[in-house]
Structure 1
Amino acid sequence: MKDMSELFWQASLEEIKQGFVFDNNTGEYICLLCGKAFTDGLIYSQDNQLYEARKYIEVHILRQHGSTFHYLLDLDKKLTGLTDHQKTILELFYDGHSDNEVAKALDTGSTSTIRNHRFSLREKQKQAKIFLAIMELLGARVPKKNAFINVPRNSKNIDDRFAITEQENEKILAAAFPQELHGQLATYPLKEKKRVAILRHIVKNFDSAKAYTEKEVNAILKELYEDYVLLRRQLIEYGFMDRTQDGSSYWIKL
């Protein structure tokens, strides 16, 4: 299965469809399919033609990946939810074949079978939209996962999933920061309870009386862990930090 980057999962639907994102901090267009970056303002040459970065990344995707459609279609079934048969049908549809031509290519002998496939795929699309809406509503409804942090230890509002003893906390941090507590993060575990403990420690690198730009936040987190984007996102998600809607200012939540 292809290794999907954190940047891919953070991208919007439109960005995934186009296959790239623009990073305002670095001024780069980044390919979501392979991670290659092209700097805005530079001119790139291909086959004796010159391209600005925005156009060149489209050329890159076409030459290196064929198309975003084919790249996504080729992902593992665990990610797409599609069978090999459905993938074949979708590829034939994408190439512009009629129902009759698809039926002949698949040797089904019936265009009505292909029409049924079209209908089933449209139903799957509708279900996906509804599921996305449900999950976004759920995400907006769930209380902050670290609600216990800013309340007294004996408060009934403490989320017991993330309440840990001092001994547990020391053990988690010792494993995550084997060199020194103020050094680099060696491992970022999948278990949420451990992540919360690590994030609570990481946030100490910021001044609670100061507002930071996204670039400043990234610079601090880069010193701790290579996937600084993941750390930045989770500091927000778990309520340790907050930011303006446009991401121009970040601050510690007290």
Structure 2
Amino acid sequence: MRIASPSKSVRAIPASARIHGVLREQIVGMEIPPGALLQEKQIALACGVSRTPVREALLKLADERLVDIFPQYGTFVSRISIPAMRDAMMIREALERAAVRAAATYAGGGDIAALRGLLVEQHALHEAGRLAAFHAADEVFHQTISEIAGHPNLWRVVRQEKAHVDRCRILSLPQPGRRAMVLSDHGAIVDAIACGDPDAAEKTMLDHLGKVLPSVAALVQAYPTYFEESPLSPEPPPAPNEPEPQLHCDQNPPEPAARRGKAVAAKKSAS
């Protein structure tokens, strides 16, 4: 595997953090599917590092429940856990309902314009069929709401917890009507924020997030080997001759999507 020489900015990042970021992005983005074999030696060769930082990156991914390490067998991408999804959605709903209420309270004209601009962008990506970019824009939309609320770090917490949820969301995007439903929900959320109605904003956000888990049953049927709870999912570890996924190490570890457009949360004291 040919890997481009890392830039200075990439080399400045610890190797284990760089490898963790790249692997995490590809696992969550379903570029490396559930059950795939990850070999320390091959990853080290691809990234031009020793096996020590690779091992450190894999251990961190194991802590995040994104890989399973089986001594004497190998390391495999974890299958999607429905209980982990339920836990993540409980955390996400608790945080985002508070964020959207604050956004509806504090949003100014520039904030609303930024959100509507993101909606226009998502519509264009939907029409173009660019699923990965559509998902990334979805992330920016929710992150922007937390920034308008005055809690920019909130989205980091949500992002850390929802990896299993994101894998399902990406699997669901090609389903007929799925992206249109997301766009409709986002439009309703923006309208509620623009009206300065915290109750309506909270309700529309919870209605939106509440559609995630009910969609899982269809995904389990469509991709049975991707889920831990599926009766058709093979027992770990998978076959040791499973092909090695392609790894691209010539990039920085991904940061949460940068917010586009000007949206400044107006800080107001509670009256």
TM-score by length of 1: 0.27
**Greater relative CO, 1 or 2 (CA 8 Å, sep 6+):** 2
Higher strand share: 1
Whose radius of gyration is greater, 1 or 2? 1
